[in-house]
Chain A
Amino acid sequence: FPGVVQSRIPPEQSDILGVESQHGTAADALTKAFLKNSLPHMKDEDVEEMMLRKAVVLEYKRPMKKKGKTRKAKGLNAKERRQLKIFQLKPEHQKYDLFLPLHELWKQYIVDLCNGLKPGSNPQMIQQKLLKADFHGAVLTVVRSKCPSYVGLTGILVQELKHVFKIITKEDKLKVIPKRNSVFSVEIGDFVTHIYGSKFELRSSERSAKKFKIKGTIDL
């Protein structure tokens, strides 16, 4: 076998290590025996063939692609949202007229959703569709409420949060109305819908997936 497999230990180190290197033929014989034991039991030619082809690259290894957990775009949590104030309308934006085009868009959306609002359409069908509809841009009116000062407020819905409606009235005032214990009415073409706020306390995104059960009469 070519190549250096053994060499003599320098004498200083042999003192430290406490071993004596063997010389000459004894060393050769020992080396040969050791190698024979270590190598797999194959013919010499096979072993050489195995070794010839493969270059074992020790230093330049390709870095393994770290898979990791694929992180979804987490979005901001509520604290960050509040800090960025993305949901707060600046006073110069609080004008009723600015939201009128939104209302027009919403009307179009609803008409499309209900396959054209014909006077003869079935109210039940429309109701089913409205349960899953989005109300941003609708004109809401508070019709009944346990707290009488909310009754009569009318405006365009700017934001629907989990427990409140934020509407902007004709006097350019942004009003926050809690959904609970109130009944809202929405006018769509010739139809008027009453929304019982207490049952609507869901985020608009979650409402589209919720099944509403019919439970008796609703008293505020």
Chain B
Amino acid sequence: MSPELEKCPRSLLVCEKSNFLNEKSRHDFHVSKHNFNYKISVLMPECGMLPANISTVINSFSHYYLVRALPVHELLEETFLESLVKKGHFYALSYNTKIDEDNSIALLSSGQLILSLDKDTYEQLGLEGRPSLYNHGKAMRLVVTLDLTDKSLSPGSKRYQRVLSSLKDRLPLRYDFFFTKYNTGADEEKTLNKLLSQYSYEEHKPAVSHQTLKEIPCPTLYPSDIQGKTLSCDPHHFLEWLGAVNLDISCENAADSFLSTYVCPEPQSSVSQALLCTVTGFISPENVFALLKELRQYFDEPRFTPWVSLTVHGFMDSPVSWGATEHRFLKGGENFYNFVCFKNQDYWLHMATGAQDGCPP
């Protein structure tokens, strides 16, 4: 391998091709496993206005809360555990904590509490964990995983007492948290509100923005050729172009432009207009799944374009990417996935992660 390539941190791209109607299709599994989503962008070529069903779904995305200075032991509190954590569909992520510098806490919908701690915090806290998979030699970062749904951590057991006393008395950790939940009942609302009322919090709605792009070249994609050998373009180039479109980078590769040499990958065709819709916030996977369902229905009527794409980005500083797979930040903390939906309900799924990440499922 050439020396330049060795210096570059690696990135992983997993491409999957299947059909939504296929019963063995794992699109719901992949979507539900990716717990923390930051940004969703939908690109619809040959479309001027956002279809009504899609905009309804986007507007009905659940709200998320930003709680300031919440002690971590509150997540272990008994009523909170019973009503919110054990029922699932509740997500929490510590805000403004860099994964490579500070301690980072995440609560998954499966009931697992992940604490990604630096060495000093781990030594003082007193909970058993294992070293991070991406340490080089000296164990600078350690991960403590607590399964809150496990019997050994049920309130009243010795282990629960120890965990609670560690987080409460020995080393009280407080962080700002993002909370979001999906479709929970009145009891859960009450418990959550009771907890939130003790601390200062803000409620947010995911921010939506639209943009109509005119006269842009678009790559042609055929569902059967995911690898980009003959009919479609290469997935790396396609994703690169998609990112350029999202960021409004010109892909003309004009001779006098030194800023960008990005080009639309071949084979391409020119479209008169394309719609780019972006939703930003702390979005739960269930919302993403609802949006995906609506997007599939876009092709119920005849459309000009053969494909639409949905990109979901994860948080750079989240301690996990898919499920409980560890995620770290080397030179970039990307963990995203991209659906390309075709007319005949075929889809492509690209899942990409950065250097210090496990392979996506």
Which residues from chain A sit less than 8 Å from chain B, CB to CB? 143-146, 148-152, 220
Contacts and interface: CB of A to CB of B under 8 A. Distances in A.
A143 B124 contact: yes
Interface in B152-206: 162, 165-166, 170
Contacts of B129: 148
Given A144-B123, A152-B166, 8 more contacts: A145-B123, A148-B126, A149-B128, A151-B124, A152-B126, A152-B165, A152-B170, A220-B119
Nearest to A183: B123
Contacts of B239: none
B348 interface: no
Nearest to A146: B123
Q: Which 9 A-B pairs have the closest CB atoms?
A: A151-B126, A148-B126, A144-B123, A144-B124, A148-B128, A152-B126, A148-B127, A220-B123, A145-B123
B81 to A, nearest CB: 22
A151 B128 contact: no
A152 B128 CA distance: 13
A152 B126 CA distance: 7
Interface string B120-153: 1011111111000000000000000000000000
Interface residues of B, number: 14
A137 to B, nearest CB: 25
A152 B163 CA distance: 11
A148 B171 CA distance: 13
A144 B117 CA distance: 14
Nearest to A144: B123
A159 to B, nearest CB: 24
A145 to B, nearest CB: 6
A149 B2 CA distance: 47
A143 B162 CA distance: 15
Contacts of A146: 123
A80 B170 CA distance: 43
A149 B158 CA distance: 13
Nearest to B126: A151
Interface in B92-137: 119-120, 122-129
A151 B119 CA distance: 14
Contacts of B120: 144
A72 to B, nearest CB: 45
Nearest to A182: B123
